[in-house]
Structure 1
Amino acid sequence: MILGYQAVDVDNHYYEPLDAFTRHLDKKFKARGVQMLTDGKRTQAVIGDRVNHFIPNPTFDPIIVPGCLDLLFRGEIPEGVDPASLMKVERLSEHPEYQNRDARVAVMNTQDIQTVFMLPTFACGVEEGLKGDIEASTASIHAFNRWLDEDWGFDRPDHRIIAAPIISLADPAAALDEVDFVLAHGAKMVLVRPAPVPGVIKPRSLGDPSHDPVWARLAEAGVPVGFHLSDSGYLHIAAMWGGKSTFEGFGAKDPLDTVLLDDRAIHDTMASMIVHGVFTRHPELKVASIENGSYFVHRLVKRLKKAANSQPRHFPEDPVEQLRNNVWIAPYYEDDLPLLAETIGVDKILFGSDWPHGEGLESPLSFATELAGFDAADVRKIMRDNALDLLGVNVASAA
């Protein structure tokens, strides 16, 4: 795919080394945070006090081949083909770009990509694993952010890689301290888990006023919040219907889990931000949904309209317009993209490939082939300009 300019991919991933959460961890949390235990044959992650299966093999060796599950996620597996046969793996040592910044930039040059948002893999399951120990969770995430800045850099003057640190809101005061830390070290984007905020007494909405200092600081800095697909703890809903209550990365799954949960966490996350007034109190705050699909947007619009019609005094601003003004969406490539553009506007759609994950695209720029119904100006917005507008940065394309 030749675009005539370099793209900006908002959904790229690294594979964390085993010490990502421990290299800078305060020693007093050694037994309460993330531990990597090896029995001579196998390495397992112990988070808190139990083995965590969010990533079954935290060494990432071997690792799944980028894009090998494409047919599975498109629903286009040929008749008679076993879905398990699509899984292909390779040696991690053959791909330094999965764990090394300079090697990744070299690959980006061959992919004709100007900038990527660099996001976690293993770390997407850690906050859920530590939600019962907020102090250890806060310390572990701070240690992770220090590792991330050390190995990848939150940002550098060329804006080639935007590595997004994690912010846990569980302890509001500590969350504000962490925001100040990452902003001081150049963060251009932060990640917040799309989930209810863990609390000592009970969970809280993302729109709880106790989080306003964080939203205010990020809005003032012009730094957007990314909500990336994570372990949001929603399997407790599946457990109510007889399913498993903890996430497992691979293995047999009950399809009812998918039907029940799918994009429920991101739907509820955005609902909490809008209904509980985050964008009313902080109209300059920008957020992006990444790797959560886009079909939740249509259900959310319908429900926001109904809520505003039935309780108009609760909504001093039009909640649907807040969704359209403050929220960017990186859809799945197999989604109905013209319908999404009609719903929120083409200016709010982002290109994300999920590279190098197996469920993503083998060749990131092939995303543009899904945009056949858009004119050239709108394709450029989706593939490049909208992401730069979200970041508030200006970078020159080499093409």
Structure 2
Amino acid sequence: MNDDRYTVISADCHAGADLLDYRPYLEKRYLDDFDMWAATYVNPYEDLLADSADRNWNSARRLAELEEDGIVAEVIFPNTIPPFFPSGSLMAPAPTPGEFERRWAGLRAHNRWLADFCAAAPGRRAGVFQILLNDVEQAVQEIRWAAGAGLKGGLMLPGTPPGSGLPELHARVYDPIWAVCAELGVLVNHHAGSASPPLGDEPAARAVFMVETTWFSHRALWHLVFGGAFRRHPDLRLVLTEQGSGWIPGVLAMLDYYHGRLLAAAKATTAEAKFGVGLAESMGESPSAVWRENCFVGASFMRPHEVPLRDRIGLDKIMWGSDYPHDEGTYPYTREGLRFAFAGVPRGELAAMLGGNAARVYGFDLDLLDPIAAKVGPTVAEIAEPLPEPPADATSPVFARGASVRVW
């Protein structure tokens, strides 16, 4: 942080190549297949067809707009469609072995494009690479490649929604993934949206999705905790992004309760005893202890009701994100969003949540970023001033009326 400005690092942004720009990153044996696939592909996402779609891959435009918004560095999650996928890559199981092979090729192309995209802005982008869980050996190989390629954002952990056919995340089959991530210091990121099962096309499905989608994303936390991943791999680190943050204290209390209850049941003669067998050795520390040692939250467009919970969540755990370039993101009103949520928060605490924590977790160099922030970052005085009224055309939920009442 500078004397009068915050160094803001967004822990949640999104990017990807334009469809045909993935072609040079594919292995030659897939080029003919790609040409046939791309010739008939219809993109299902309006935001990737709009005039603003190039925010995903136009490096110069992206840097300029983020700086205009007061942001000097970003963690980059995927956004566009990799080759051979019908839609969001981690939510689309391959129907045949051949299709699975091509989709792995598509993800590798995305990851290699991303490495070049990050290299185009040295020290200002931490790219989050993609894997599939269907082949653990291939996943481990890709993790080693990505770590060597300088993708500091870590991996994006796919969900295992009901119906996916994948083992649940607590399964020991994924241990080689946790082991290599712990060995190489690769972060495991679990972003909202990749863990929900299909809900159909009925109008009510949208409401059900809103109720359930973050819960399905939260599941990664208790799966890895109760599965003992952190006990077996104490250097493993998990980041839960764009899932809110206000839920964390209550869920940790609930998980601690079940942790204690299961350990007690293992020593009892009640009907619950069968649920506790073997858990004392496999689970390790309590969930709240694991959170303190191993976990972080990418607190995208943090809402006013979440801010008073920061001490219970952990001030050193919270990493604010703008969600650029999504409509629900704070661009171009990041300064207003920060004022709306954070006015009155002590300067040192806010500096940690807006950039210091992300710099430490994702390996950004503040000596590089602070001089840029001295020119473009929001001022301390500016963010300390409460925002009387949200901008009329702001689309981020941080400004939504009634969005600040959820406290569980």
TM-score range relative to shorter protein = 0.7 to 0.9
Q: 1:280 aligns with which of 231, 236, 239?
A: 231
Which structure has the larger Rg over C-alpha atoms? Answer: 2
SS of the residue corresponding to residue 293 of structure 2 reads: helix
Report if aligned partners of 1:368, 1:383 keep a CA contact under 8 Å in 2: no
One-letter amino acid matched to 2:186: V
Matches of 1:34 and 1:198, distance apart in 2: 32
Report if aligned partners of 1:165, 1:191 keep a CA contact under 8 Å in 2: yes
Matches of 2:34 and 2:195, distance apart in 1: 20
In the alignment, does 2:72 pair up with 1:104?
Answer: no
Unaligned segments of structure 1, at least 5 residues: 46-52, 63-90, 245-251
Q: Give the drift of 1:208.
A: 2.4
Decide whether aligned partners of structure 1 residues 181 and 103 sit closer, same or farther in structure 2, where only a CA change above 3 A counts: same
CA deviation vs aligned residue, 1:181-231 (integer Å, no higher than 9, x gap):
11111111223245118999x421223223222222222222312222234
One-letter amino acid matched to 2:317: K
Decide whether aligned partners of structure 1 residues 18 and 96 sit closer, same or farther in structure 2, where only a CA change above 3 A counts: closer
Decide whether aligned partners of structure 1 residues 192 and 183 sit closer, same or farther in structure 2, where only a CA change above 3 A counts: same
Summarize the alignment of residues 158-237 of structure 1 with structure 2, pairs less than 5 Å apart: 158-196=122-160, 202-235=165-198
Residue of structure 1 equivalent to 2:19: 18
Residue of structure 2 equivalent to 1:4: 5
Q: Give the drift of 1:145.
A: 1.1
Matches of 2:262 and 2:135, distance apart in 1: 31
In the alignment, does 2:265 pair up with 1:265?
Answer: no
Report if aligned partners of 1:6, 1:384 keep a CA contact under 8 Å in 2: yes
Decide whether aligned partners of structure 1 residues 394 and 306 sit closer, same or farther in structure 2, where only a CA change above 3 A counts: same
Decide whether aligned partners of structure 1 residues 222 and 198 sit closer, same or farther in structure 2, where only a CA change above 3 A counts: farther
In the alignment, does 2:334 pair up with 1:364?
Answer: yes
Report if aligned partners of 1:194, 1:227 keep a CA contact under 8 Å in 2: yes
Which structure has greater helix proportion?
Answer: 2
Aligned identity (percent) is: 22
Matches of 2:310 and 2:295, distance apart in 1: 13
In the alignment, does 2:78 pair up with 1:120?
Answer: yes
Q: Which moved more, 1:178-187 or 1:205-214?
A: 205-214
Residue of structure 1 equivalent to 2:323: 354
Report if aligned partners of 1:288, 1:327 keep a CA contact under 8 Å in 2: yes
Unaligned segments of structure 2, at least 5 residues: 82-86, 264-279, 375-408
Residue of structure 2 equivalent to 1:319: 287
Q: 1:141 aligns with which of 99, 107, 113?
A: 107
Report if aligned partners of 1:294, 1:335 keep a CA contact under 8 Å in 2: no
CA deviation vs aligned residue, 1:41-64 (integer Å, no higher than 9, x gap):
xx614xxxxxxx4x2x47x232xx
Report if aligned partners of 1:130, 1:136 keep a CA contact under 8 Å in 2: no
Report if aligned partners of 1:34, 1:140 keep a CA contact under 8 Å in 2: no
Residue of structure 2 equivalent to 1:72: none
Residue of structure 2 equivalent to 1:79: none
Report if aligned partners of 1:294, 1:329 keep a CA contact under 8 Å in 2: yes
Q: Give the drift of 1:121.
A: 1.6
Give the total of aligned pairs: 339
Matches of 2:144 and 2:303, distance apart in 1: 38
Q: Give the drift of 1:271.
A: 1.3
Q: 2:306 aligns with which of 320, 337, 345?
A: 337
Decide whether aligned partners of structure 1 residues 97 and 315 sit closer, same or farther in structure 2, where only a CA change above 3 A counts: closer
Decide whether aligned partners of structure 1 residues 233 and 317 sit closer, same or farther in structure 2, where only a CA change above 3 A counts: same
SS of the residue corresponding to residue 262 of structure 1 reads: helix
Q: Give the drift of 1:143.
A: 1.9
SS of the residue corresponding to residue 88 of structure 2 reads: helix
CA deviation vs aligned residue, 1:278-300 (integer Å, no higher than 9, x gap):
11111122221121222442453
Matches of 1:344 and 1:285, distance apart in 2: 19
Q: TM-score of the superposition, structure 2-length normalised?
A: 0.73
Q: Give the drift of 1:96.
A: 5.2
Report if aligned partners of 2:90, 2:159 keep a CA contact under 8 Å in 1: no
Residue of structure 2 equivalent to 1:380: 351
Residue of structure 2 equivalent to 1:44: 42
Matches of 2:95 and 2:289, distance apart in 1: 36
Decide whether aligned partners of structure 1 residues 144 and 253 sit closer, same or farther in structure 2, where only a CA change above 3 A counts: farther
Report if aligned partners of 1:324, 1:344 keep a CA contact under 8 Å in 2: no
Matches of 1:145 and 1:253, distance apart in 2: 36
Q: RMSD of aligned C-alpha atoms? A: 3.1
Decide whether aligned partners of structure 1 residues 257 and 147 sit closer, same or farther in structure 2, where only a CA change above 3 A counts: same
Report if aligned partners of 1:117, 1:161 keep a CA contact under 8 Å in 2: yes
SS of the residue corresponding to residue 330 of structure 1 reads: strand
In the alignment, does 2:264 pair up with 1:306?
Answer: no
Matches of 1:383 and 1:220, distance apart in 2: 28
Q: Give the drift of 1:30.
A: 6.3
One-letter amino acid matched to 1:14: A
Q: Give the drift of 1:379.
A: 0.3
Report if aligned partners of 2:169, 2:224 keep a CA contact under 8 Å in 1: yes
